[in-house]
Amino acid sequence: MTLILVVDDDEDLAEMLGIVLNSAGYEVDLVNHGDDVLEIFRANKPDLILLDVMLPGIDGIEICRQIRAESIVPIVMLTAKSDSREIVQGLEAGADDYMVKPFKSSELVARLKVRLRRSPSESGSSLRIGDITIDQVAHSLNRDGQIIGLTRLEFDLLVALAKEPGRVFTREALLSEVWGYQHVTDTRLVNVHVQRLRSKIERDPDNPELIQTVRGVGYKAGAVR
């Protein structure tokens, strides 16, 4: 059974989220206070965290940062503000995706499904990008025998790019492929994650070779070496 950790200080909303997620077939842990999150996370090891940003105690951004330091678990942020600042902060702290309140149950469930899906491993195939080998079965990255750790989303993003080496992906295409968005343009989401990914895999993140920017269009994978 898939376990989702729902963190929201509004008990009614948390309960409602529990009902919706339960009926969608997930198991749910509810947490209302920021200080309790890490403890329960470590104890129960959820498959995904639904995290409100404004929390009593440790705030959502800080929780996000701390969880990211020890886990690659998918984190979806809940925010009541559509301002850029809070969203970008959350994404930079390690959140994979975000939802702006008020959202529809169907929207939420669809988004969580994308985050929870296992990348379909194509007959044990391994991909290459630059000097890095991507093992899709073991879900791991290897450069000169060294393992590079990525979050699930970062891995998906890299695989999406590496699968079609010549293709230039627009941000919209990546959003639909990796995040499951339709008809939505949110450049923040793509830009922040490409930056995070580059900081982990590029030898020089300021002069990226593996994930190249195509000005005015989007991104493409660098050549295999």
Name the residues that contact other proteins, by CB under 8 A.
8, 10, 12-13, 16-17, 19-20, 23, 54, 80-81, 83-84, 100-106, 185, 216
Q: How far is the CB of 10 from other proteins (least distance, A)?
A: 5
The CB-of-56 to other proteins minimum distance in angstroms stands at 14
Instruction: Give the containing element (helix H, strand E) for 132.
Output: strand 132-135
- Supply the DSSP string of 34-51, one letter for each residue: GGGHHHHHHHH--SEEEE
In the bound state with other proteins, the residue whose beta carbon lies nearer, of 142 and 191, is 191
Residue 210 beta carbon to other proteins: minimum distance, rounded to whole angstroms: 26
- Which is closer to other proteins, CB of 10 or CB of 36? 10
**Angle between helix 37-44 and helix 60-70 axes, rounded to 10 deg:** 30
Distance CA 206, CA 100 (A): 31
Amino acid at 208: P
Which residue's CB is nearer to other proteins, number 103 or number 138?
A: 103
CB of 120 to other proteins, least distance (A): 29
Nearer of residues 101 and 143 to other proteins, judged by Cβ: 101
Give strand pairing partners of 29: 5
Smallest distance, other proteins to C-beta of residue 140, A: 37
Q: Which is nearer to other proteins, 63 or 78 (CB)?
A: 78
Q: How far is the CB of 60 from other proteins (least distance, A)?
A: 13
Nearer to other proteins, 106 or 125 (CB): 106
Work out how close the CB of 30 gets to other proteins at its nearest, in angstroms, rounded to a whole number. 13
Q: Of 14 and 178, which CB lies nearer to other proteins in the complex structure?
A: 14
